[in-house]
Every structure is written in C-alpha cells, then in structure tokens.
Amino acid sequence: MAKDRMMIRKGKWILLLVIVSLIMVSCHKKEKDELCLTQTLERYGMTQYKGEDMGCRMFLTMYEYNNKLYFELGNHCTDMEVVIEDCAGNNIEETRSALFNLQFDCHALRIGIVGIE
C-alpha cells in the first residue's frame, strides 16, 4: 500500500516536471519566432501587416516548416521571382538541398501576410 502511494507521488512529480518543461520550451520558441519576425521586418524596412489595403506595395508572407519560420517577398502588381528566405536572410534555393526545397514546397504551412512597406 505504501509503495503504491510512493509510486503515485513519483508519477505526479514526473508529470509536473514534463508539463513545466513543455511550457518553458513553448515560451522560448515564441520569443525566438517574435525576434525572427521583428528582424525580418526591419531588414526589409516594413511594418507589421494589420489588414490594410496593400495596393501595389511590397509585402512579406510567412511560412512555417520544421518548426522554423521562412519568408517570401511579394507584390500583387509586379511579376517577381519567388525567393524564400530563412530568419537569417538566406535564400533557401541557394543554401538548401533540392530535396529540402521540394519538401518545403509540399509541406510548409502558409501563415499569411505579416509585413508591408
């Protein structure tokens, strides 16, 4: 009986430790993602998109793939070459393998427009 209670107590502590660890990891990812977005907006001289009319202004679309953020520069009035960049500004077409790019095209989650000139 006493052993059973001790096992239940240990189980509760382990569960609590796992929950706290997940919360800490989640908070760290959110901070990292916010920093990435802020730096990318600054690199392009953009402000956060809030649903305003874009007209012919440049805009930034955000994607998530493998728990990392990627960005595509766009404009509805201009034909542009599609360039997807990571948080550091690296063009994934130039810095990643063809297999990565194919998997990105198939599985990346489009978050939406996040920045505008």
CA–CA dist 50, 65 (Å, integer): 23
The share of the chain scoring above pLDDT 70, in percent, equals 75
Q: Does this model's pTM top 0.75?
A: no
> What number is the average pLDDT over the span 44-48?
94
Q: What is the pLDDT of residues 15-39, one digit of tens each?
A: 555 554 545 444 556 788 899 999 9
Backbone angles phi, psi at 5, to 5 degrees: -65, -40
* Rounded average pLDDT over 60-70: 94
For residue 88, give the DSSP letter: T
Q: What CA–CA distance (Å, rounded) separates 68 from 37?
A: 11
User: Is 47's pLDDT higher than 60?
Assistant: yes
What is the average pLDDT across 42-58? 93
pLDDT in tens, 82-103: 889 999 999 888 888 888 888 9
